[in-house]
Structure 1
Amino acid sequence: MDPTVRALAVHDIDAALLARWPLPWPDAEGDKELRGHVLVLGGSSEMPGAVILAATAALRAGAGKLTVATGASVAQLVALAMPESRVIALEEHASDGFSLDAVARLDPLAERIDAILIGPGMRDEPCTARLVHALLPRMDAARVGVVLDACAMGALRHPPPGWPPGRPYRFERPVVLTPHAGEMAHLTGADKADIVAHPDPLALACARDWNAVLALKGARTVVAAPDGSFWQHEGAGNIGLAISGSGDVLAGIIAGLVARGAPLEQATCWGVALHARAGDRLAERMGTLGYLAREISQEIPALLEQTGGQTAAGDKTIRPVPGGQEAAPGVVS
């Protein structure tokens, strides 16, 4: 990876950007199908809460339908916690990884979902990587938006059989990745302190090499796209967001926005902004420390309304591209 790579332009994820980059919004007469169907794949016997947090966030971000696929040992618990969701029980290994039988169970869903989030609460990285690589071709063929979080990002460290040794793994179609600095160090071998101090070059290089929209999380979160587009969100030092489950919520918000039809980079930037603003609201009302990750999602619907994140169905949204220009979605700069 080239550490000298630079963005052509840096866009601030602020109120002005969000105002000129409205999210897709369903017709008033539309039904839940038009709001998108999201599948959340994750959880384990020790971490069933992660998939619940992510799935709740996807619905709070406006997705219309939800399916959760999780381990058989916790499926009933998840179903009780998420009455809005269909829950699919998957066979587990002793390591808490899912059997590859999950591919056959989930294959019929590929034509009916708009986004899939894989990773929250999953364990056994090599096993999870095999499952990710087995699922991606089907999701790619169906044009499903893919968000990889937590353990599922380990697919980069465990490429499929036949991948050239020493060559960085590259996704066939872009996906969203949501690492924090520690996870980025794990994925790349770079020093965590260096990543925290200088995140931009590595984020840009990895986004390009991996063919991914990469949200490198931190007090200053950066979002890099494969084409060199680059965004940054300067946090207000809200340490309250640094809490267990917070990342699961962010990944769920992004997946929910993808399901609604937002392009990957737009869903990621909006997800980062909504997550941060929700934390700010909770800090103002409850105090900087002590609010819970499960409470972040509760702020999202009102923030979506008040931020003006909507455009009439069928209207074209706009997105910043390198050089400070603007283009309709799908236009290659």
Structure 2
Amino acid sequence: MKLATAEQMKELDRQAIEERGIPSIDLMERAGAAVAEAAASLPAGKGRRRAAVLCGTGNNGGDGICAARHLFLKGTEVRAYLVGDYEKMTPDAREQTRRLSECGVALVPFDPEDEEQRRWILRADVCVDALFGVGLSRRIDPSSHWGRAVALMNDSRGAVVAADIASGVDATTGGCLGEPVHAVKTITFTLPKAGQFVGKGALCSGAVEVRDIGIPAQLVRETVCSIQTVERDFVRQALPPRQADGNKGTFGKVLVVGGAVGYTGAPYLTALAAVRSGCGLVSLGVPEIIWPVEAAKCISAMPFPLPDKDGMLSEKALQKILDKLEDCQVLALGPGLGRSQRTGRLARELLAQTDKPVVLDADGINALAGHIDVLNGRRGRVTILTPHDGEFARIYDGPEALGRAEEARTFARAHGCVLVRKGHRTLTAVPEGNVLVNTTGNSGLAKGGSGDVLTGVIASLLAQGAAPVQAAAGGVWLHGRAGELAAERETEYGVTPADVARTIPVAIREILG
């Protein structure tokens, strides 16, 4: 699903109105009707439904004024408030005010000191947020009328429906411009906005519903969006076909390198996930001192000992790893590796010397801090990095405060790698500039070891023949979906990374079915 930026939406509106001759008031009428329909569908208390509609002076405010009229015509008891000066209203918003007035409903100036207004908003069954729309570019002052209107909607007992986008959310980055409205539902127009799926904006938007308001479909199809969500069809295509006459060598060979004293679970979880997601042969190179532990745990993967020192891999392990890698398609490097000068040098040497695809996680990523030239040296070779925000901060060398998606895009472009930026709505950025947003997963995945499982899934799909972006973004989706399915049994409190790894086949069956 394509996700649009604020500028793209402004351009679509301009083309529809100026080039195709569609009256802007007609677009507004459809938008307001869609918002009213959503607001009227929400549960209400006993008696007549009460709605508070808070409107700005721009066209988003006009959408809200229109929604107030449609709610009134549906039998809702409506009060509409104008936050801002009447003189600053757009012509379409003024026309909607006239139409609302013809129904006997006045647009009342918002006064946060008016106790009657406050009571109505706080006790409404539903609040409609139509303050700003996608054009907001400045922070909302909490002491201003707009900031106090946002606070009242958030404090209201009624559910908030946002018109196009929750006020305070940057439509492009998902960042928050002051305290945002927390909507239970956002009725957005023509295309979903990137800011509704990434950053804090994803948490403030509630359920996002896209409504057609009459912008020509051709214009929408021709809009090229560099940020998209990952959908089931994409994941289905990422799953390599299973040959009926295949053998264990047919379905890929992954070498996992990691582990240290105190971190025996990480490489095991990576190996388990690789097996569970279809890899034919999984080898596991670990420090000799913990090899007995891994050998006892691993039934389907094949652990082997490597030279170590002080509980971690030593640089003497380098040649043995390279030799083993000759017979494998993919190296998964970093789970439980530990942070030391020796492990850092080992990780960098492996990255420099192998031409094989590498999935780099955890302390493998940390080894690049201050040595990003090693990653640049792999340009043209497949390298997939899977950092959480803390690890990403150690290696990111681009402009600050761009937002999670734009920072991920900047890094992938600059260093010629695929970047999986983990977190709520994990992002996959590719060197060409595209960003894929994941929408699966839950809080049960916020546990140590979850990232190790993800590394195993991505490495497995890559070894089986999936393209790098398919393996990365498809693996993230499967990992998140497995987390959802596992939580249905264990709850988000009780689900473990091992539960997630063991549930990957169920997520795969769902996709194939």
Fold match, TM over 0.5?
yes
> What are the Cα deviations for residues 94-127 of structure 1, in whole angstroms up to 9, with x where unaligned?
2x44212111112222321011101001112432
Letter of the 2:227 partner, please give it. V
> Structure 2: which 5+ runs fail to align?
1-171, 174-193, 195-223
Indicate the residue corresponding to 1:57 in structure 2. 273
Indicate the residue corresponding to 1:241 in structure 2. 445
Query: Quick one: distance in 1 between partners of 2:267 and 2:286?
Result: 8
1:23-172 alignment to 2 at 5 Å? 23-94=239-310, 96-140=311-355, 144-159=356-371, 169-172=376-379
Alpha-carbon contact 2:315-2:343 (below 8 Å) kept: no
Query: Quick one: distance in 1 between partners of 2:330 and 2:229?
Result: 26
Query: Quick one: distance in 1 between partners of 2:363 and 2:293?
Result: 21
Query: Quick one: distance in 2 between partners of 1:152 and 1:29?
Result: 36
Alpha-carbon contact 1:125-1:154 (below 8 Å) kept: no
Aligned match of 2:417 in 204, 212, 220?
Answer: 212
Alpha-carbon contact 1:110-1:138 (below 8 Å) kept: no
Q: How far apart are 1:302 and its partner, in Å?
A: 2.4
Q: Cα gap change, 1:219/1:118 in structure 2, threshold over 3 Å: closer, same or farther?
A: same
> What are the Cα deviations for residues 161-213 of structure 1, in whole angstroms up to 9, with x where unaligned?
xx59xxx8453323000011111112227899x58xx2011101111122211
Indicate the residue corresponding to 1:188 in structure 2. 396
Query: Quick one: distance in 1 between partners of 2:341 and 2:474?
Result: 31
Answer yes or no: is 1:200 the counterpart of 2:405: yes
Letter of the 2:328 partner, please give it. I
Alpha-carbon contact 1:39-1:66 (below 8 Å) kept: yes
Letter of the 1:202 partner, please give it. E
Query: Quick one: distance in 2 between partners of 1:175 and 1:151?
Result: 15
1:302-313 alignment to 2 at 5 Å? 302-308=506-512
Letter of the 1:154 partner, please give it. N
Alpha-carbon contact 2:485-2:507 (below 8 Å) kept: no
Query: Quick one: distance in 1 between partners of 2:353 and 2:328?
Result: 12
> What are the Cα deviations for residues 240-286 of structure 1, in whole angstroms up to 9, with x where unaligned?
11011111111111111111111111111111101110111122222
Letter of the 1:151 partner, please give it. D
Query: Quick one: distance in 2 between partners of 1:208 and 1:180?
Result: 18
Q: Which has the higher contact order (CA 8 A, sep 6+)?
A: 1
Indicate the residue corresponding to 1:175 in structure 2. 383
Aligned match of 2:433 in 228, 232, 250?
Answer: 228
Query: Quick one: distance in 2 between partners of 1:158 and 1:68?
Result: 28
Q: TM-score normalised to the size of structure 2?
A: 0.53
> What are the Cα deviations for residues 68-108 of structure 1, in whole angstroms up to 9, with x where unaligned?
000111001101111223222122222x4421211111222
Q: TM-score normalised to the size of structure 1?
A: 0.81
Alpha-carbon contact 2:266-2:452 (below 8 Å) kept: yes
Alpha-carbon contact 1:53-1:249 (below 8 Å) kept: yes
Pairwise CA RMSD of aligned residues? 2.6
Indicate the residue corresponding to 1:320 in structure 2. none
> What are the Cα deviations for residues 224-250 of structure 1, in whole angstroms up to 9, with x where unaligned?
0111122111246x1111011111111
Answer yes or no: is 1:255 the counterpart of 2:459: yes
Query: Quick one: distance in 1 between partners of 2:455 and 2:238?
Result: 20
Alpha-carbon contact 2:398-2:410 (below 8 Å) kept: no
Letter of the 1:52 partner, please give it. Y
Q: Cα gap change, 1:138/1:169 in structure 2, threshold over 3 Å: closer, same or farther?
A: closer
Letter of the 2:382 partner, please give it. P
Letter of the 2:293 partner, please give it. L
Q: Cα gap change, 1:36/1:235 in structure 2, threshold over 3 Å: closer, same or farther?
A: closer
Percent of residue pairs identical: 33
Alpha-carbon contact 1:93-1:99 (below 8 Å) kept: yes
Alpha-carbon contact 2:258-2:336 (below 8 Å) kept: yes
**SS at structure 2 position matched to 1:179:** coil
Letter of the 1:76 partner, please give it. P
Letter of the 1:226 partner, please give it. P
Alpha-carbon contact 1:53-1:252 (below 8 Å) kept: yes
Answer yes or no: is 1:13 the counterpart of 2:230: yes
Query: Quick one: distance in 1 between partners of 2:278 and 2:357?
Result: 16
| Residues paired across the two proteins, number | 292
Letter of the 1:181 partner, please give it. D
Indicate the residue corresponding to 2:132 in structure 1. none
Query: Quick one: distance in 1 between partners of 2:225 and 2:487?
Result: 35
Alpha-carbon contact 2:427-2:437 (below 8 Å) kept: yes
Query: Quick one: distance in 2 between partners of 1:186 and 1:108?
Result: 31
**SS at structure 2 position matched to 1:278:** helix
**SS at structure 2 position matched to 1:34:** coil
Query: Quick one: distance in 2 between partners of 1:138 and 1:222?
Result: 28
Letter of the 1:212 partner, please give it. C
Indicate the residue corresponding to 2:31 in structure 1. none
